[in-house]
């Protein structure tokens, strides 16, 4: 427990923002999905990189892949940032900035898919 408290005291204050944006992004996506769940069709257009038609559609439950991917990418970037030496502040902040950028991209994509049907 002391190691965690020491780490939090010595950590860059900028490292709190990516964690907060990740949390709020998950809350926004999760609450919007929960509120609109009954109004959504059984299949959602999720895989836009595939050819047009049925191959782009996914079940409603597969929509939860977006928050799962969000969590995994954020944990990976934050883990990498915390493994860097304390003198590599610029690289750490670039990793944390990429976390915020990934959050924004996934949030916009998820909300656009959900609000297609409202």
Predicted confidence (pLDDT) per residue in 85-96, tens digit: 778 878 888 888
Q: What is the pTM of this model?
A: 0.79
Lowest-pLDDT range of 4-8, 11-15, 55-59, 79-83: 4-8
Strand ranges (E), 19-97? 43-45, 57-59
If pLDDT is split at 50, 70 and 90, which confidence band does 61 have? confident
What Rg, from alpha-carbon coordinates, does the chain have? 17
Q: Is 60 exceeded by the pLDDT of residue 8? A: no
For residue 6, the model assigns a pLDDT of 55
For residue 107, the model assigns a pLDDT of 93
Strands 57-59 and 43-45: antiparallel
* Three-class DSSP category at 58: strand
Q: Which of 68, 82, 63, 62 is nearest to 22 (CA)?
A: 68
Residue % of the chain over a pLDDT of 90: 14
Q: How many other C-beta atoms are found inside a 10 Å radius of the C-beta of residue 28?
A: 14
68 vs 117: which has the higher pLDDT: 68
């Amino acid at each position: 427990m002391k190691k965690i408290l020491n780490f939090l005291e010595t950590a860059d204050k900028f490292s709190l923002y990516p964690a907060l944006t990740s949390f709020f992004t998950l809350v926004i996506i999760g609450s919007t999905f929960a509120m609109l769940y009954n109004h959504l069709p059984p299949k959602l257009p999720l895989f836009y990189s595939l050819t047009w038609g049925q191959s782009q559609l996914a079940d409603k439950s597969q929509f939860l892949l977006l928050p799962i991917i969000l969590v995994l990418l954020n944990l990976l970037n934050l883990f990498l940032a915390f493994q860097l030496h304390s003198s590599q502040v610029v690289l750490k902040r670039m990793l944390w900035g990429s976390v915020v950028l990934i959050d924004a991209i996934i949030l916009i994509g998820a909300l656009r898919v959900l609000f297609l049907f409202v």
